[in-house]
Structure 1
Amino acid sequence: MISDKKLSRMDERVDELRMRIKDSSQRAVLNDVFDDATLMALYELSKNGHIDALGGSFKTGKEANLFHAISKRDGEIAVKIYLISTANFNAMKEYILGDPRFTGIKHSRKDIILAWTRKEFKNLKRAEDAGVRVPKPYVTKRNILLMEFVGKDGVPMPQLKDVKLTREEALHILNRIIEYMCLLYSKARLVHADLSEYNILVDVDTMEPVIIDMGQSIMTDHFNADTYLQRDVANIARFFGKLNIPVNSDEVISIIKRKKEEGK
């Protein structure tokens, strides 16, 4: 029986979240998030000092839900919980099974999703070490990833798609994104593989982009790396094209690959 007061407060907080959801479909989703195994993993993270107060969800999706939390050690943090019962298992397999870092894992739903959680942690760490602005990863356990909360007072920074930019700001952000893609490819040896205006936040205090959602990111020696790199660049070119800022995709890809060659 768990007697730690901090863990009991977390349990009460989860119960409060359950009671607050009155819509039956939403309540079912919450039950999917906080299954017994996930609760036990949260208990362990709390017991080890990683979580002191668990708040509400600030982003929900088919693969994962994100919760705001407080840690005395790290301040505001994001708690990303992958949904074992509803995540798109088949789509995840495409990105996991070709990754040499995850050879030998079983092909079951649970094992793929647990590997995916570790994969995002590793990708964020590689990106951070390469100098890319990403949410700082702290720890992962089972289907839970703890990382820096990119926002303030529980309010996350907006996605790039929702930010009104001057032409000067847009050019600055575009150049920074290209710089980050170069660093990912040349130093982290990664391709984001789902980069778009939806997976880039903007720190509105500094007008700097923050790359997020790196679970699907692959190593540059992955057999689909070139295809995903081209798609990433095309997405960025399309978005900034709508802002009347032309981007030559072939030129950007050439720059990214040249930076990798120069770094050898």
Structure 2
Amino acid sequence: MKKEVTNKVKRIDTEVDRSRMRRKDTDTLKVKENVFDEPTLKTLYTLSNKGIVQAIGGSISTGKEANVFLAEGEEEKDIAIKIYRISSSTFNSMEDYILGDPRFRNVRHSKRDIIFAWTKKEQRNLIRAKEAGIRVPEPIVAERNILVMEFMGEDERPYPQLKDIRLDKETARPVYDTIINYLDLLYNEANLVHGDLSEYNILIIPDTKEPIIIDMGQSVTKEHPRSRDFMIRDIENIVRYFKKYGINEDPHEIYSAIRDKEEKTEIKDS
């Protein structure tokens, strides 16, 4: 089975490499060793047979726990595949978010089961964020340690991270206001706190300067015992980044304003 699965993935991988992308052999080997273990290959094979994944391209990004790849989906549409590494990941960066999250209450404490639950959680978080009116990648399917979602970019190139975009002061203010509004919507409409928001996981559409929030695997509900700490840290990260554009606001005042909206809604509904 392994040979069959490996050949299948290699075939679609090679096809997309030949037609659209070039990669260094050493880089490809390193990626395959760390990411494409046998269970992951089997899952990709299943997604390929279902027609969800037609071809796999090059790496878009490498994070602490996951790699994201450009891929080809149905009707040759570009999609993104996020693969959480089972063999080489650790729980060090996950533990603070898992402990106290009721969605992990009945999950067995093996690395594999926690990663599977984490992947499903990111899918649900993205759905809730999108329904609240926040610009995020639309999830397509979550299968074991693989999340397939909308590709945020153009011409096979992902949109740049906020950290790599130079804004003028006139543009910086509306971008900042949109991000703070997204935090508000996330909290009051989606009942979520991002938990790790910074200039590294916000993409910017170059033409419109519209921000896109990504990496929501660690997002927690407001009931999480550390949700307040995570929320304030998210706001502090955004305020810190935009200070260079002359925007100076108090993170605690922003948090209080967002919380006030929640309290007013509760009074109205009671």
TM-score (norm 1): 0.91
In the superposition, relative to structure 1, how do residues 154 and 184 fare at CA in structure 2: closer, same or farther (>3 Å)?
same
**Counterpart position of 2:247:** 245
Deviation at 1:42, TM superposition (A): 0.6
Gaps of 5+ in 2: none
- Per the alignment, residue 9 of structure 2 pairs with 10
Aligned residue pair count: 260
CA distance in 2, matches of 1:65, 1:216: 15
In the TM superposition, what is the alpha-carbon distance from 1:168 to its structure 2 partner?
1.5
1:193/1:74 CA distance change after superposition, 3 Å: farther
- SS of equivalent residue, structure 2 residue 92: helix
Structure 1: give runs of 5+ residues left out of the alignment. Answer: none
- CA contact 2:23–2:58 (8 Å) conserved in 1: no
Do 2:54 and 2:76's aligned partners in 1 also have CA atoms closer than 8 Å? Answer: no
* Corresponding residue for residue 53 of structure 1: 55
**Over residues 147-172 of structure 1, what are the superposed CA-to-partner deviations in whole Å (9 max), with x where a residue is unaligned?**
11100121000000111111121101
Structure 2 contact 119–147 (Cα < 8 Å) conserved: yes
Contact 1:182 1:260 in 2 (8 A): no
Secondary structure of the residue aligned to 1:206 is coil
Q: Which residue of 2 aligns with 1:62?
A: 64
* Residue 26 of structure 1: how far off its partner (Å): 6.5
One-letter amino acid of the structure 2 residue matched with residue 214 of structure 1: M
Deviations 1:84-114 (A, max 9, x none): 1122323212212311122111111111111
For residue 91 of structure 1, give the secondary structure of its aligned residue in structure 2: coil
Contact 1:68 1:79 in 2 (8 A): yes
Question: Given residue 59 of structure 1, which amino acid in structure 2 is its aligned partner?
Answer: S
> How far 1:245 sits from its partner (Å)?
1.3
Contact 1:49 1:73 in 2 (8 A): no
Determine which of 100, 104, 107 is the counterpart of 2:106.
104
For residues 1-264 of structure 1, the aligned pairs below 5 Å read 10-14=9-13, 21-23=24-26, 27-72=29-74, 75-264=77-266
Report which stretch shifted further, 8-17 or 137-146: 8-17
Which residue identity is paired with 1:228? F
3-state SS, counterpart of residue 94 of structure 2: helix
Measure the CA separation in 2 of the matches of 1:182 and 1:161: 22
1:82 Cα deviation (Å)? 0.5
Code of the aligned partner of 1:40: K
Q: Name the CA distance, whole Å, in 1 between partners of 2:14 and 2:57.
A: 12
One-letter code of the match for 1:104? Answer: N
Q: Map Cα deviations across residues 4-31 of structure 1 (whole Å, 9 max, x no partner).
A: 9x996533244687x95543x8624422
Residue by residue over 1:200-227, the C-alpha shift from the partner in whole angstroms, topping out at 9 and shown as x without a partner, is 0001122110000011110001000101
SS where residue 89 of structure 2 aligns? coil
| Percent sequence identity over aligned pairs | 48
Secondary structure of the equivalent of 1:246?
Answer: coil
The separation in 1 between residues aligned to 2:48 and 2:41, in whole angstroms, is: 10
Deviations 1:115-147 (A, max 9, x none): 111111111111111111101111000100001
Contact between 2:97 and 2:219, CA under 8 Å: does it hold in 1? yes
